[in-house]
């Protein structure tokens, strides 16, 4: 028997082999997907709340209610305290929650079986739903002791948690099984390129808007310093810094709305690239980045951000050239996905803010403006950067004309016209087979008709059989046997 040899990459190396049964590993992965991100968020929230209560030298009466309310607030569930609704929640925690869910889901999706995939998605949704029910029960119990704390709407709570973890589960499973799903579906093959272009456009728009916010904070450094001066304690300033970091994505979304030509508002205060209407603004240091009247021309230059982001989208869509109609369809799909993503972020980053009113972006113009920028400049970029294959013109086939037999063979037609009628009749009789043709006479055989062709060369062996000519001397052509060339060589003349 031949001995099986291990591959070269396995020789001399000890490969770790898991001795745990497959069912145990899958159960462990499902538990991690169901409760991992939620438990991590609860631990961080509990540490922050307990630290705040400890520094404030307060009792722990409402600690559990505060932890449960903040956990729901991470999932964009409004929190009501003493009749004041806090609907505009920071975007950074919810983005981290989506990232954590997507990562754990992708790690658990190691099998291509649809049965296992369904269980992974169900676990990613079932665990947070269970936590939501527990948090609602804890808040309801704490509200009986703390009258300022109000129980949030159950439908909004379950819906917000479900949507957040569903987005994370779809992103996680899609990163593993996305190519297979697209291959099995009837969608065009350029859909991944369109999604990649949409992601490039959104990332470019958010990144450049964040850079604009950072530059505005540097310009308005004195205003930010004044906002920090509302508290003199180091812990208070640290808390303001943490809140500013958590709300930074919300401010970036507002800057993106201003960059594409839409507007953002904080209560009555409205900001755009063309006009600014003043109003009361919360004392949060990161809000020092908002423009103040009179508005300078530099704010109109923010539209360059939208153009550059559209160029990034178009360059991604132009990586694989396609026909003109298909290439434009790819750009339209990418612009639609990017506009929908920005609209969802704008909706999540807005809400009610107590006495200040509604905070957010103008949804009626934000998504259409993003789509127009990305579709227009992105499509132009695709055309100019070689994303459209040139149209190949096929040569038209020449029309086939009917051939005229008389025109094709004029000699035959002339021969037919000059043929003797008697010969034609004789040929017809011969073809019919009624009479047998007579053999040619000796006179006809001995005297063949003259032809224009050159006479064929006479073989050399026939010279000896040729009779002597009368007017030549026979002695000149006398040949001796010894003079004949051997092996059939030619004779030599004497």
| Most trustworthy range by pLDDT among 179-188, 218-227, 393-402 | 218-227
Same domain, 191 and 143: no
Q: What is the pLDDT of residues 462-481, one digit of tens each?
A: 444 555 555 555 555 555 55
Q: What is the pLDDT of residues 28-64, one digit of tens each?
A: 888 999 999 999 999 999 998 888 888 877 777 778 8
Q: Which of 370, 390, 410 is the last residue of a domain?
A: 390
pLDDT value, residue 358: 87
Same domain, 225 and 153: no
Same domain, 83 and 136: yes
Same domain, 57 and 160: yes
Q: Which of 341, 370, 390 is the last residue of a domain?
A: 390
pLDDT value, residue 16: 46
Same domain, 312 and 205: yes
Instruction: Classify each residue of 130-139 as buried b or exposed e, where b means 16 or more C-beta atoms within 10 Å of its C-beta.
Output: ebbeebbebb
Look at residue 461 and tell me if it is in a domain. no
> What band does 92 get if pLDDT is binned at 50, 70 and 90?
very high
Same domain, 192 and 155: no
Task: State the virtual CA torsion across 70, 74, 77, 80 in degrees, nearest 10.
Answer: 30
Same domain, 193 and 146: no
Same domain, 261 and 175: no
Range of the domain at 199: 187-390
Please, are residues 317 and 328 in contact by the beta-carbon 8 Å criterion? Answer: no
Comparing 67-71, 304-308, 322-326, 478-482, the range with the smallest average pLDDT is: 478-482
Please, are residues 104 and 33 in contact by the beta-carbon 8 Å criterion? Answer: yes
Same domain, 214 and 284: yes
| Number of structural domains in the chain | 2
Look at residue 216 and tell me if it is in a domain. yes
Q: Which of 340, 357, 390 is the last residue of a domain?
A: 390
**Position 433 pLDDT exceeds 70:** no
Two tokens at 154? Answer: 């159950």
Same domain, 67 and 212: no
Look at residue 108 and tell me if it is in a domain. yes
Instruction: Classify each residue of 102-119 as buried b or exposed e, where b means 16 or more C-beta atoms within 10 Å of its C-beta.
Output: bbbbbebbeeeeeeebeb
Same domain, 253 and 279: yes
Q: What is the pLDDT of residues 171-199, one digit of tens each?
A: 999 888 877 877 777 888 889 899 999 99
pLDDT value, residue 450: 53
Look at residue 259 and tell me if it is in a domain. yes
Q: What is the pLDDT of residues 258-268, one digit of tens each?
A: 999 899 998 88
Please, are residues 296 and 269 in contact by the beta-carbon 8 Å criterion? Answer: no
Same domain, 150 and 287: no
> What band does 112 get if pLDDT is binned at 50, 70 and 90?
low
CA 259 from chain centre, in angstroms, equals 25
Look at residue 12 and tell me if it is in a domain. no
Cα angle value 314/316/320 (rounded, 5°)? 105
CA distance 252 to 206: 7
Look at residue 130 and tell me if it is in a domain. yes
Look at residue 140 and tell me if it is in a domain. yes
Look at residue 407 and tell me if it is in a domain. no
């Amino acid at each position: 028997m031949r001995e099986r040899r291990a591959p070269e990459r396995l020789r001399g190396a000890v490969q770790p082999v898991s001795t745990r049964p497959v069912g145990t590993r899958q159960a462990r992965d499902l538990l991690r997907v169901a409760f991992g991100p939620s438990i991590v968020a609860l631990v961080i929230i509990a540490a922050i709340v307990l630290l705040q209560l400890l520094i404030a030298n307060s009792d722990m009466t409402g600690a559990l209610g505060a932890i449960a309310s903040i956990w729901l607030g991470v999932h964009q569930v409004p929190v009501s305290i003493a009749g004041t609704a806090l609907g505009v929640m920071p975007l950074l925690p919810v983005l981290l929650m989506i990232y954590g869910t997507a990562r754990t889901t992708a790690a658990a999706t190691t099998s291509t079986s649809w049965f296992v995939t369904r269980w992974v998605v169900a676990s990613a949704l079932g665990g947070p739903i269970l936590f939501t029910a527990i948090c609602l029960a804890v808040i309801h119990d704490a509200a009986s002791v703390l009258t300022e704390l109000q129980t949030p709407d159950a439908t909004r709570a379950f819906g917000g948690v479900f949507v957040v973890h569903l987005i994370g589960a779809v992103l996680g499973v899609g990163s593993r099984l996305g190519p297979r799903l697209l291959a099995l579906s009837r969608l065009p093959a350029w859909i991944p390129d369109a999604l990649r272009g949409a992601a490039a456009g959104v990332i470019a728009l958010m990144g450049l808007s964040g850079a604009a916010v950072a530059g505005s904070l540097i310009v308005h450094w004195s205003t930010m310093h004044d906002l920090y001066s509302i508290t003199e304690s180091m812990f208070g300033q640290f808390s303001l810094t943490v809140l500013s970091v958590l709300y930074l994505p919300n401010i970036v979304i507002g800057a993106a709305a201003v960059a594409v030509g839409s507007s953002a508002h904080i209560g009555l205060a409205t900001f755009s690239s063309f006009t600014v209407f003043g109003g009361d603004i919360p004392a949060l240091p990161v809000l020092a980045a908002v423009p103040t009247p009179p508005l300078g021309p530099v704010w109109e230059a923010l539209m360059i951000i939208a153009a550059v982001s559209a160029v990034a989208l178009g360059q991604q869509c132009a990586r694989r050239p396609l026909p003109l109609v298909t290439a434009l369809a790819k750009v339209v799909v990418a612009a639609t996905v990017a506009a929908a993503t920005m609209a969802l972020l704008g909706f999540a980053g807005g809400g009610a803010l107590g006495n200040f009113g509604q905070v957010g972006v103008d949804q009626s113009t934000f998504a259409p403006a993003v789509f127009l920028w990305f579709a227009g400049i992105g499509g132009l970029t695709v055309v100019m950067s070689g994303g459209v294959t040139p149209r190949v013109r096929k040569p038209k086939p020449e029309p086939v004309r009917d051939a005229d037999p008389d025109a094709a063979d004029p000699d035959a037609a002339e021969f037919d016209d000059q043929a003797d009628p008697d010969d034609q009749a004789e040929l017809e009789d011969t073809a019919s087979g009624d009479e047998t043709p007579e053999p040619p006479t000796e006179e006809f055989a001995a005297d063949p008709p003259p032809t224009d062709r050159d006479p064929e060369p006479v073989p050399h062996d026939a010279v000896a059989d040729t009779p002597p000519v009368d007017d030549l001397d026979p002695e000149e052509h006398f040949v001796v046997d010894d003079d004949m060339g051997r092996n059939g060589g030619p004779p030599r003349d004497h």
